Amino acid sequence: MKERIISERFVDSSIDTPYSLMLDDTAIADMYLICCGAYSPLTGFLKQTEYSSVLKNMRLLSGAVWSIPIVLPVSMQDISVIPTGAYVKLIHNSIEYGYMLLEEYYQPDKKQEAIEVYLTEDPAHPGVKKMMSRGDVYAAGPVWMTKRPPFLFPEETFTPNETRAFFQKKGWRTVVGFQTRNPIHRAHEYIQKSAMETVDGLFIQPLVGETKNDDVPASIRMESYRELLKHYYPSERVLLGTFSASMRYAGPKEAVQHALVRKNYGCTHFIVGRDHAGVGNYYGTYDAQKIFSTFTIEELGIVPMFFDHSFYCRKCGQMASIKTCPHSEMDRMILSGTMVRKMLRNGTRPPEEFTRGEVADILIRGLKGSEDIGQ
């Protein structure tokens, strides 16, 4: 596999320009991920030709694999007064974070984008709903960052250059990445540790950007990750670091993007579980794994590791999957998300076979009084 060069687009000072654009939470997260190198080879928000290529081919014009268009939605009213070729300050919550060179702006077909990216135009899909609520015009061009966003977890936020240096210092030649927006239950622990048997290190990188209202808040999840790693993982073989992106819930195409991002962070392998980045019933259980057959390992630059549904089997007396367990569903400890949510709201620990007691206690304490949480 060819090593990708990761560059950072951070500069010391702003540029003198009368023009500015306002960024929402997703856009400022995307801007940071472009500038720190997490979205390499992107250097800015996509121009229309690149945007169309990503939608139709899951590739940039260079031929590099890229599955989700990274764009800057704005209003026609705001963008029409800015001439193309001008530098534009980028503002979020009244704070300037950098600037872009406005090379062009264009009006996308959002319904077509929804179908291509999310495989549905159903407005109930959270990713489609979010996309439709943003500006109807896309501003495009390279970006530079003068000020980093305030990170929720600064001690656990790293750039790709920093994680690569960490892995090299540790002597990890092979590293498996794990993406999550949920608490880590025993099934997740099982597949992580199964992967760890074949690599030097594990990089757990939970997404801590914008998620659905009923997903477990990042602060509660991070506390649960720290506690789990403290008691049940070998500290010298695991790194916990955050991923600042907004969740798009794009299922298969987001799974590919997650893999490409982890390659940039220095991972050689990436765990793809069932219904990766899915939501509701919009995607098949293993669609996020099947999509990887579209590409070669050399094109991706990272090795996907596929795992089936995992569970605790009473007869086996251990964690297992449908690949390793010969017993019936009656012997398997499988709890629905609804059941687990009800138990946690009531202050009841789910069985140890489903989640570690330390994790359950943190979720119960952190979510006390909440109406609903994601699973």
Q: Which residues are catalytic?
A: 181-182
- The residue with tokens 């025993």 is 186
AA identity, residue 147? K
CB of 227 closer than 8 Å to CB of 355: no
34: tokens are 């472009």
AA identity, residue 64? A
Rounded to an integer, what distance in angstroms lies between the CA atom of residue 6 and that of residue 37?
5
Rounded to an integer, what distance in angstroms lies between the CA atom of residue 350 and that of residue 151?
32
Q: What is the 3-state secondary structure (H, E, C) of 149-165?
A: CCCCCHHHCCCHHHHHH
Rounded to an integer, what distance in angstroms lies between the CA atom of residue 32 and that of residue 135?
20
What are the distances in angstroms from CA 108 to CA 26, 48, 83, 321, 340? 18, 8, 19, 43, 41
